[in-house]
Structures are given as structure tokens and as C-alpha cells.
């Protein structure tokens, strides 16, 4: 399939797909860490190995292949290696949550965020092929979220973390995704070109601002709030209502440009 000129000259699509391809391709680094943490849990280990890992790696491959086809002058492997050198130490077990329930909960946050980012990108993309790719990615992230939520419920039945400690975990993780994972992935993107890119390059700040605008336009705030709120639900309305309001606030705060009308 030939590349649409509108896609090839669109810097935002390049940066989005490249960050997606880097973060998703690096998932095996996490699997070994999670395997260490959940070493006793056979069911979880099988799921990580047979479902989660292949699906995430495939997400990375789809984005990477698209980039190779549309921006062949971008040196993906060299740029990925530069990203991984900085990112890999952050996947170490010492940076994981102190408990199996809370680690599963923080994975719920990441899966929700990625599902929502892909939903927004699906709406934004100007061509059918990219819309379909983003649709596939977001529905699989929702599947991952469901599994991690089930895992959280299972472990929390024993660990019994209260709403405050769950909230703290979720807020901490949600800041990490924006500030760290995507920032690390963005860093090498302007440095590895065989010939000048077919668009005007963007700075991290400009990319963040544009992402914010696109999220503001397309973010399914309701769906995101529902997913983030689920693991916090206690069943008593006087407790759940303020927590749900807080989650909605948090979803909007993810992208500073998401105003009150979103
Ligand atoms: Fe993924
Ligand atoms: Fe995922």
C-alpha cells in the first residue's frame, strides 16, 4: 500500500507511531520483571507469556512496520537502541510497586491510559489503515486492563489495600506514563535520520501540546473514568461518589488542555 502524502508529511503521526512502537516493543523487558514478581502465580505467568507479551509485541511491530514503509529514511533500530539504553534500567524490579495487588493496579492505570490514547488516535487518524490499527490496539489494551483488574481483585482480597493507598498508587503511576515513558521514547526521534525528515520536526513541548489538543478533542472521558474507578469501587455511594469525581478530574488532568467542557 502506498503511503498517503498527508500521512508522510504529518509530523504528529510520525512521533505518535514511533513512541508507540518503542514503548510496545520494549514490553519483554517488563515481562521478565513481572515474572519475577509473580513467580508463584502460574496462571498469571501463562497469561503474561501467551497473551500479554505477544499482543504488546505485535502492537510494536505494526507501528514499526508502518514507519518503515512510510518513513524509510528513519533509522528505527538505532533510535530504539538509544531509547532502550535509557529506559531499560527503569523496568527493574526495584521500581515496581511494593505489593502484587498494587503492581496489578498500577498496570490497570497504564492499560487504561494506552487504551484511551489509542482511542483518541483512532479518531484523529486521516486514513483507514491507521484507524483500524489504532482500533485493534485499543481493544486489546482494554482486554489487558480486564485481566490486570481481575488480578488486582484476587490479590487485594488478601492484601486488603484501602481506597487511599489504591488512589495513591494510581495517581503515581498515571504521572509516570506521561512524564517518563513517552518522554523517553520521544527523545531520540529527531536524531536518527538518513536524510532530512519530510516534515518540520517538533520539540517535546510542541508534541505534548499537540497531543493535549487531540486528547481534548477526542478523549472518551466517561469510558476512561469508568475504567479508572472500577478498582476503587466500594459499593457505598457516599464513598464512591467523591472517588469517581476525583477519577474524572484525574483523567482530565492527564492532559492539561482538557478543560471543564471535556
Ligand atoms: Fe499495547
Ligand atoms: Fe497493554
Tell me the average pLDDT across 3-8: 80
Average pLDDT, the chain: 87
Encode pLDDT of 11-52 as tens digits. Answer: 999 999 999 999 999 988 878 888 888 888 999 999 999 999
Residue 238 CA to ligand 1 center (angstroms) comes to: 35
Return the pLDDT at 216.
84
Q: What are the angstrom distances between the C-alpha of 53 and each of 44, 76, 87, 210, 255? A: 12, 21, 18, 30, 28
**114 Cα: distance to centroid of ligand 2 (angstroms):** 7
Ligand 2: distance of its center to the CA of 5 in Å? 30
| CA-based nearest residue to 55, from 152, 137, 110, 147 | 137
Using only C-alpha atoms, the chain has a radius of gyration, in whole angstroms, of 18
Alpha carbons 20 and 233: distance in angstroms, whole number: 31
Mean local confidence (pLDDT), 74-78: 98
* pLDDT tens track for 179-231: 678 889 999 999 999 999 999 999 999 998 998 889 888 888 888 888 888 88
The mean pLDDT value for 110-132 works out to: 94
Q: How far is the CA of 45 from the centre of ligand 2 (A)?
A: 15
Q: Which ligand sits closest to the CA of 22?
A: 1
Ligand 1: distance of its center to the CA of 148 in Å?
14
CATH class of 5-215: mainly alpha
CA of 213 to the centre of ligand 1 (A): 22
Q: What residue spans define the domains of the chain? A: 5-215
Cα 92 to Cα 95: distance, rounded to the nearest angstrom: 6
C-alpha 104, offset from chain centre: 15
Sign, Cα dihedral of 168, 164, 48, 155: positive
* pLDDT given at position 172: 80
CA of 248 to the centre of ligand 1 (A): 23
Q: Give yes or no for residue 259 having a pLDDT over 60.
A: no
Taking the centre of ligand 1 as the mean of its atom positions, its distance from the CA of residue 114, in whole angstroms, is: 7
Reduce the DSSP state of residue 257 to 3 states and report it: coil
* C-alpha separations of 210 from 9, 18, 77 in Å: 16, 15, 26
Cβ proximity of 68 and 165 under 8 Å: no
- Overall average pLDDT of the 106-112 stretch: 89
- Residues 112 and 232: their CA atoms lie apart, in Å, by 14
Lowest mean pLDDT among 26-30, 120-124, 206-210, 258-262: 258-262
End-to-end CA distance of the chain: 36
Measured in Å, residue 239 CA sits from the centre of ligand 1 at 33
Closest-CA residue to 160 (of 84, 216, 102, 204)? 102
Q: Is the pLDDT of residue 258 over 50?
A: no
Amino acid at each position: 500500500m502506498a503511503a498517503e502524502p498527508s500521512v508522510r508529511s504529518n509530523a504528529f503521526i510520525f512521533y505518535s507511531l514511533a513512541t508507540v512502537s518503542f514503548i510496545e516493543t520494549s514490553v519483554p523487558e517488563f515481562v521478565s520483571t513481572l515474572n519475577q514478581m509473580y513467580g508463584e502465580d502460574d496462571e498469571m505467568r501463562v497469561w503474561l507469556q501467551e497473551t500479554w507479551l505477544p499482543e504488546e509485541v505485535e502492537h510494536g511491530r505494526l507501528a514499526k512496520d508502518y514507519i518503515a514503509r512510510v518513513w524509510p529514511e528513519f533509522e528505527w533500530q538505532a533510535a530504539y537502541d538509544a531509547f532502550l539504553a535509557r529506559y531499560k534500567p527503569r523496568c527493574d524490579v526495584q521500581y515496581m510497586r511494593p505489593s502484587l495487588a498494587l503492581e496489578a493496579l498500577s498496570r490497570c492505570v497504564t492499560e487504561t491510559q494506552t487504551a484511551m490514547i489509542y482511542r483518541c488516535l483512532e479518531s484523529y487518524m486521516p486514513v483507514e489503515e491507521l484507524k483500524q490499527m489504532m482500533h485493534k490496539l485499543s481493544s486489546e489494551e482494554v482486554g489487558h486492563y480486564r485481566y490486570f483488574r481481575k488480578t488486582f481483585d484476587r490479590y487485594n482480597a488478601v492484601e486488603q489495600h484501602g481506597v487511599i493507598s489504591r488512589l495513591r498508587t494510581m495517581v503515581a503511576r498515571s504521572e509516570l506514563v506521561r512524564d517518563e515513558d513517552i518522554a523517553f521514547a520521544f527523545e531520540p526521534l529527531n536524531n536518527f535520520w538518513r536524510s532530512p525528515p519530510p516534515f518540520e520536526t517538533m520539540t517535546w513541548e510542541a508534541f505534548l501540546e499537540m497531543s493535549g489538543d487531540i486528547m481534548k478533542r477526542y478523549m472518551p472521558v466517561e469510558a476512561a473514568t469508568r475504567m479508572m474507578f472500577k478498582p476503587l469501587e466500594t459499593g457505598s455511594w457516599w464513598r464512591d461518589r467523591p472517588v469517581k469525581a476525583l477519577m474524572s478530574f484525574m483523567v482530565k488532568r492527564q492532559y492539561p488542555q482538557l478543560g471543564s467542557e471535556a
